[in-house]
A and B are shown apart, each in its own frame.
Chain A
């Protein structure tokens, strides 16, 4: 059973490059300002979520283990 993730997008940093939305469209979507927002943290496997976070050119995405609080991205 996959662990539960807590994913946040910092809108002070997100520039709307959209790589996360392309890689994991079930997890991220664009809001009206064309910034990324989380729609379903369980929408894709953890490795895909971490890849999407790593693809963000501005480092706007943080991924945390919802149960333990361990920061999975950035490391």
Chain B
């Protein structure tokens, strides 16, 4: 009996969403720079190629939203095309969507706020927030890691960084949920996204005026000061505050959920962490980042014609680089499919590389370390409550829809 073959180029096929490692791993071994005609983009999967590509920012532009004139993929409702243009205008001002020279001035203005040592100062706040969130759920014997811990933690941290009151958290979490539609595939996603964008502009704009008058040590003050110095326009301040909320939210959620799941699937590594939660947390977090990264892939657009491995990438071609595949490249990692929380060195590319290397990497690391440490200290018998797990249909994010766990 004949069966209908699934389209091997469908990046949103259920099996690709469920197991990106098998699909992109095959590409990495057979056609490491692959043209996907359906998505009209190059797929780059080897560690060496990915690092080369990202570090050559003059060849591969980050201004994809601004410069890519192809219609959105997957398609959106026709009636929402004007909304898409508004979203384009908004997102074009994101730091992550900019190239040098403007990128350099903008990055300089915010880089100091996020250095590893500056972020260490946030560890006590993160530790206390994790403890508070877990205290609430511990007597119940079960929780959805996503709802109880992974989603609220980054919102708490980011609202504190924005210097806004605790009672605004729920509102900001709602806006963050709406902003997450940036990377979804639903045809009506632009409406939800616009709701998040307009909500952020409305919420943040008066705060920027306040901080310009009376600066504090918060992130909005840093941006307001940069606006005063002419580095940022007001629009860029608003856009990049929204970016902080959005970028720090789903990524951290995924680090916490995917890392916890990796431990649940590898009991011997969980025992290893439990033997020394504080000492093991740092390298363990790096391995969680490598093994099942929060961001599977991201994109660039070629700024000139480039030859690589016998392929010609043309000026204007889109390129999607797959961290999830590069992190499992046997040329870069020994026994790459093994989850080994003592792995060292661990040159994973989960935070990217080059001039756009994740601004919030140090904060993400601290959040991961504090969460895995606290879970190991509290829940000796942590176990999965279901094998029925599913992921958001995103090409970019590796996002579980829930992670129910229990303990004795």
Contacts and interface: CB of A to CB of B under 8 A. Distances in A.
Contacts of B122: none
B99 to A, nearest CB: 14
Interface of A: 12-13, 15-19, 22, 33-34, 54-59, 74
Contact of A12 (B114, B347, B361): B347
B354 A55 contact: no
A34 B56 CA distance: 8
A34 B55 contact: yes
A15 B286 CA distance: 14
B231 to A, nearest CB: 15
B108 A15 contact: no
Contacts of A57: 114-116, 351, 357-359, 361-362
Contact of A15 (B112, B117, B351, B359): B351
A15 B345 contact: no
Interface of B: 51-52, 55-56, 104, 108, 111-112, 114-117, 345, 347, 351-355, 357-359, 361-362
B357 A55 contact: no
Contact of A17 (B52, B112, B354): B354
Contacts of A58: 357, 361
B352 to A, nearest CB: 8
A54 B347 contact: no
A56 B116 CA distance: 8
Given A33-B55, A54-B115, A16 B353 contact: yes
Given A22-B104, A54-B115, A12 B345 contact: yes
B115 A17 contact: no
Given A15-B352, A17-B355, 13 more contacts: A12-B347, A13-B345, A15-B351, A17-B354, A22-B108, A34-B55, A34-B56, A34-B354, A54-B115, A55-B112, A57-B116, A57-B357, A58-B357
B116 A59 contact: yes
Contacts of A22: 104, 108
What are the 9 A-B residue pairs with the smallest beta carbon separation, nearest first?
A: A34-B55, A17-B357, A15-B353, A12-B345, A16-B55, A16-B354, A15-B357, A16-B353, A57-B361
Nearest to A11: B347
Nearest to A30: B55
Contacts of B116: 54, 56-57, 59
Nearest to A12: B345
A57 B345 CA distance: 17
